[in-house]
Copies of this chain bind each other. A is one copy, B any other.
Amino acid sequence: MTPSKTRSKTLNKTWSIYLSGEIHSDWRERIEEGAAAAGLDVRFAAPVTHHEASDDCGVAILGPEPDKFWHDHKGAQLNAIRTRTLIGQADIVVVRFGEKYKQWNAAFDAGYAAALGKPIIVIHQPEHQHALKEVDAAALAVAQTPEQVVAMLRYVINGELDGYTDKRQAAE
């Protein structure tokens, strides 16, 4: 008996993917475009990625603070309304660490997602491997490129894997 290919599909579910971390490259677009090209039923969420807006949002709306600590605090708390809500409602949390900067907020998001039991995918280059070992240990996958993330989402959501499921489909 031949199991049908529809058996490996999840019917009628839209997956929510939160894309946390580095905001200086186009990795989010590459994932979003790849997911669209693959026809995945997903919706993506992310922090506000406009750097200056993210820094100044608190004081821009609620009034200036002479002390930089409170300037930052007001902004960070306002951003937290968005980020914690969206992480809390995500099915999968993807966290990318770039080549530069401290990126403690990315690691914070990873810890936050881990405690909520969210499946985590981490993206980083090999040179950060040792420094990120605790974060990687909490992840279900560690990738190096956005394209790998797209391939994983395609597999996880649609059960499709190049060189495997396409062969079966071709044969049917």
A residues in contact (CB < 8 Å) with B: 1, 3-4, 6-8, 10-15, 23, 25-26, 28-29, 32, 43-50, 52-53, 56-58, 60-62, 65-70, 72-82, 84-86, 89, 91-92, 97, 101-117, 119, 121, 128-138, 140-143, 148, 151-152, 155-157, 159, 161-165, 168
Contact = CB atoms under 8 A, between A and B. Distances in A.
B107 A161 contact: no
A103 to B, nearest CB: 8
Copies in the complex: 8
Contacts of A112: 111-112, 114-115
Mostly, the A contact residues are: helix
A141 B78 contact: yes
Contacts of A92: 81, 85
A155 B45 contact: no
A130 B101 CA distance: 11
